[in-house]
Structure 1
């Protein structure tokens, strides 16, 4: 016997071998095994109102697990409506026809069309990575500049580079690249330079790492402008999800650095990390976020272009916290140092900084003296990105001797200051 199951994902079929003598409990078990919705998440009804916003309390729910299908009038070809929380991947049969969008070519929207087009937003239970670990030097170099130079008065951001390791998919951040930018109390404008980013990517490839996330700071005073606390503002979420969607990797991590008052009344710097949920990235890619954020808007809420369902209610304002999936934080000591001046800050990095850095590191092997991403980025401006950069970064990655020709070239650059 075939029972048709209608959910927000469309119409699917469940094969019931026991026929009409099967019970609701057995039907739920079959839905779990054949469709992939856990029994604990299932709500079944013969009333299509089950799938409509604000109508759950009006739908008669099939709540008696021992009731037989025949006693409820369920037979071959019957339709049962399924409501569930969470997300799942829907596998359609090969060759199945695509569904024509409701309203196309003048066709009227039916009840089934309305149900299929609903978007439900629920919290994602777990991230796609087990944890994120920051290289201590890289993290300290980033927060110290924001704390000591900018005093957390404006926003600052950067791209995190590292690798994804192990079956748990732990993200290890090895360095932070800070692109050209302008920050205010509420906004961070990334003035991205394609040529510079191409050099960064060449260095990253030579070091065996990839771009794994985005890090930004929250300015002190930003939250004083609104009532209530929030983790990220609507502007921050929109920028973060755009970069997440651009990345193309599901382990992508977003990190926040902020100043908080401790129990003694002093100020502490805190790091927080999270991933944006799959539904958040999907909605952004589908263009459902309102991109223009008005100054008087509540920063705790993201606005949608059409109604979505949150907690059983239809709305266009979604609490940003629904989109955040927390990620555990740890730290480690990586291969690279973090003592060379950072690009695109207030002070311009010159070859004089290279001379000072090499002098401070005298006595170390030459490869150790140049094992710093920000130093390598400065050198890359004077080298061939297709031959010299890969050769030099390979030496750094493997910690092997730098060829004499490159040593002489670097020393020559340092002497031009």
Structure 2
């Protein structure tokens, strides 16, 4: 790099040689010295650093001189260029993880030379470079980063370049930013619509030679590529659910028998009265009380399926997610929102209406025991409960080309329950473990479920009927929560240009029906609702059945929102949805039920404590020990909560022993169970459980015999406990974790 600087100073026309250019690209900026963290803290540390620097605005870097540095061990010295306009943000994060803070006097720099020893590269070495200290600051300006504005029919963009960059580098960056297929067609000018010059004709000239300075506005033009037929290869890269691939291969026609009154043809004939119906036939849907057609029936109605399956498909996919945000890159050329807005970049008006299709038609609980175990916590404590449903998607024959979500297990994340509601904690490691365990069992997260139960006080075991036509079925707050979750779990489909459309994530609410019995209601929210929540257009209101439209703000554009209804004269009229509208316009009803012949995946007849429950429901080593002693492993293993807790102990090897345990749970193989019991991991688990049970019983005897406070404290200290930092099961009486050394609390 120094040779390049000398060349530029003495002979500006001399180009930089390849070796020097390679050396220059080796420069880096050191933001902190090495920190030594435990592996379990790496993810959280990375998130903290990202959050600390996320709000930092982009800034330019300039060099202010040369200085020598050495590391703390004086084993290596560096010759570096001092940097200005940088701020250290790492001290607070380092202190949070009990790490040494940043250097007392941080000097940000970019090192370009190093040598062994702490004082080898000293000031004398710097002075040995001819005239470097006096002229380096001037020469380094040739390497400073500058921003060049380019304006085209796609709007104004800012490109980072340096004065020494060839104009071809600027051309390539413009092509990448604007997604121009043929960069050779790009022209440039310093005036709009005048004197446009092809950028390729200026090849070999640097931006400094062309007098392009920081902040200059350049006008560019380019030729748009001719429309190419859409390739089916892009759609083949989208990995759909297996049920979608299966339904794609089905014709979906609704077969009808021969009408005895109107069909006059032979048995092998066909007429208008007996020919098959399309899966979206409105008369058939109304006759069978199907409020919303299935997603694949909707595809047949749009014609997307036929186009996609054919060989002459030349148009873009038909499905497109609704977006109500202001477009940031408007082709009109005006400053971006909120400085300016036009009809091209502003979202269109929203007319609320019932969504004609649904991604999931039915929710099927593989066994009634799943719901009973989930409700038992409310029955025992009176506190509401929330859980994530894990299962799979299968074809649903009751609806043409329908899809059902089969629920096999419910995972309950950490939460604070109350009689009137509940509060969920932030996503933690436990949810990740639940997803991984479900994936090992061939399941995925299909929805969420929660209770809204209140005893009516009659003593008959009945509950209040709170959700009905005169109050609400699904509150506005629940709509917003469901929209956020559905956006988090998009539905992969090859019929969308983005590869995703809608969501199969369902929401189930357990409440009371008109007879006072406990019942389940299942819902989804429309794609319009998801788009409005994403664009920050709506918010929940105090009245549960009403959704509010937000007021416009400096950084929030609110389009016109309307909804239609029948007035007292039975006429359909349109009304402005501001300031509020009924949540029914955002809901999609989903049916639910149980199979005629239950065949659940997890068949254990013994109940294992559910995760994250308090009191007598707590999961610990003692409860696991009692569970394993209550029967044979081949029967006990088939319990999702047992598998999840066993894996969280970290004793069994995930790559071998844990997978073997999952295989025993799913196949109920005596041979696999015997093989698992002979593994070292399983023997270690049993040993730990026996020692934990023995120490717990010994502590209990000491407490009862001593009867004093010290005996009670000794029993508590000897009880096994799971470290909340590294999930290691501690069986000793120390308050610090034996594995990671962190305290119990």
With the length of structure 2 as denominator, give the TM-score of the two structures.
0.38
Instruction: Kindly indicate whether residue 631 of structure 2 is the aligned counterpart of residue 356 of structure 1.
Output: no
CA distance, structure 1, for counterparts of residue 536 and residue 654 of structure 2: 37
**Of the two, which has the highest radius of gyration?**
2
Which residue among 109, 121, 135 is the counterpart of 2:352? 121
Give, in whole Å, the separation in 1 of the partners of 2:660 and 2:644. Answer: 14
* CA distance 1:304–1:186, change in 2 (3 Å): farther
| Alpha-carbon separation, structure 2, partners of 1:90 and 1:278 | 7
Which deviations, in whole Å up to 9, do the C-alpha atoms of 1:255-302 show, x marking residues without a partner? 01012451xxxx311011122211112222222232xx56xx211112
1:367 to 1:289, Cα distance in 2 relative to 1, 3 A = farther
Q: Of 483, 487, 490, which residue of structure 2 is paired with 1:248?
A: 490
Measured against aligned partners, the alpha-carbon deviations of 1:325-376 in whole angstroms (never above 9, x if no partner) come to 11121224312147211111122211222222223334xxx23211111111
Q: Which residue of 2 aligns with 1:399?
A: 668
Tell me, in whole angstroms, the C-alpha distance in 1 between the residues paired with 2:480 and 2:629.
44
Q: Quick one: structure 1 residues 108 and 161, their matched pair in 2 at CA, closer, same or farther if it must change by over 3 Å? A: closer
Separation of aligned partners in 1, 2:410 and 2:683 = 28
SS in structure 2 of the partner of residue 169 of structure 1: strand
The reply on whether 1:268 has 2:517 as its aligned counterpart is yes
Higher strand share: 1
1:327 is paired with a residue of what secondary structure?
A: strand
| 1:274-313 equivalences in 2 (<5 Å) | 274-290=523-539, 293=540, 297-305=542-550, 306=558, 307-311=560-564, 312-313=574-575
User: Shift of residue 134 of structure 1?
Assistant: 0.7
Determine the structure 2 residue equivalent to 1:341: 609
Change (3 A) 1:245 1:225: closer
| In 1, Cα distance between equivalents of 2:520 and 2:481 | 18
Q: How many pairs align? A: 312
1:103 Cα deviation after fit: 8.8
Q: Give, in angstroms, the shift of residue 225 of structure 1.
A: 12
Cα deviation code 1:103-142 (max 9, x no counterpart): 95766756x887x621121111332123111132212211
Shift, 1:224, TM fit: 7.1
Rounded to whole Å, the distance in 2 between the matches of 1:101 and 1:242 is 33
Asked whether the equivalents of residues 391 and 406 of structure 2 are also in contact (C-alpha less than 8 Å), the reply is yes
The structural deviation recorded for 1:188 is 2.7
- In the alignment, the residues of structure 2 paired with residue 243 and residue 129 of structure 1 have an alpha-carbon distance, to the nearest angstrom, of 15
CA distance in 1, matches of 2:522, 2:467: 24
Q: Which residue matches 2:472?
A: 230
1:192 is displaced (CA, Å) by 3.6
**What is the distance in 2 between the residues matched to 1:248 and 1:163?**
15
Supply the distance in 1 between the matched residues of 2:331 and 2:581 (Cα, whole angstroms).
28
- Match among 620, 632, 642 for residue 375 of structure 1: 642
1:411 matches 2:686: yes
> Which residue number in structure 2 is paired with residue 257 of structure 1?
510
In structure 2, relative to structure 1, the CA distance for the partners of 1:89 and 1:381 (3 Å cut) is closer
3-state SS, counterpart of residue 538 of structure 2: coil
Question: Which structure would you say has the larger RCO, counting Cα contacts within 8 Å and 6 or more residues apart?
Answer: 1
Q: Is the 8 A contact 1:132 1:330 kept in 2?
A: yes
Q: CA deviation at 1:237?
A: 2.0
Counterpart for residue 576 of structure 2: 314
Contact 1:179 / 1:192 at 8 angstroms: preserved in 2?
Answer: no
SS in 1 for 2:372: helix
Would the alpha carbon gap of residues 123 and 224 (structure 1) be closer, same or farther in structure 2, given more than 3 Å must change?
closer
SS at match of 1:355: helix
**CA distance 1:359–1:256, change in 2 (3 Å):** same
Contact 1:103 / 1:109 at 8 angstroms: preserved in 2? no
Contact 1:352 1:414 in 2 (8 A): yes
- 1:10-409 → structure 2 map (5 Å cutoff): 89=320, 104=336, 109=342, 117-136=348-367, 137-146=369-378, 148-151=379-382, 154-166=383-395, 168-220=402-454, 228-249=470-491, 250-262=503-515, 267-290=516-539, 293=540, 297-305=542-550, 306=558, 307-311=560-564, 312-316=574-578, 317-331=580-594, 332-337=598-603, 339-347=607-615, 348-362=618-632, 366-383=633-650, 386-387=654-655, 388-400=657-669, 401-402=672-673, 403=676, 404-405=678-679, 406-409=681-684
Task: Report the secondary structure of 2:517's partner residue.
Answer: strand
Q: Distance in 2 between matches of 1:90 and 1:268?
A: 39
Change (3 A) 1:270 1:282: same
Structure 2 residues not aligned, in runs of 5+: 1-279, 283-317, 323-328, 396-400, 456-463, 492-502, 551-557, 565-573, 694-745
Deviation for aligned residue 1:407: 4.2
Alignment partners' CA distance in 1, 2:349 and 2:333: 12
The whole-number CA distance in structure 1 between the counterparts of 2:526 and 2:622 is: 45
What is the distance in 2 between the residues matched to 1:216 and 1:162?
Answer: 16
Secondary structure of the structure 2 residue equivalent to 1:298:
coil
Could you tell me which runs of 5 or more consecutive residues in structure 1 were left unpaired when the two chains were aligned: 1-37, 41-86, 92-96
Deviations 1:74-113 (A, max 9, x none): xxxxxxxxxxxxx96499xxxxx96669995766756x88
Give the match's secondary structure for 1:374: helix
TM-score, normalised to structure 1, is: 0.66
SS of 1:375's partner is helix
Q: How far apart, CA to CA, are the structure 2 residues paired with 1:184 and 1:259?
A: 18
**In the superposition, relative to structure 1, how do residues 208 and 100 fare at CA in structure 2: closer, same or farther (>3 Å)?**
farther
Instruction: Verify the 8 A CA contact 1:102 1:113 in the aligned structure 2.
Output: no
Structure 2 CA distance for partners of 1:159 and 1:226, relative to 1, 3 Å: closer
**Judging changes above 3 Å, is the alpha-carbon distance between structure 1 residues 134 and 118 closer, same or farther for their aligned structure 2 residues?**
same
Question: Alpha carbons of 1:113 and 1:203: their partners in 2 closer, same or farther (altered >3 Å)?
Answer: closer
Distance in structure 1 (CA, Å) of the matches to 2:441 and 2:648: 17
Contact 2:330–2:345 under 8 Å retained in 1: no
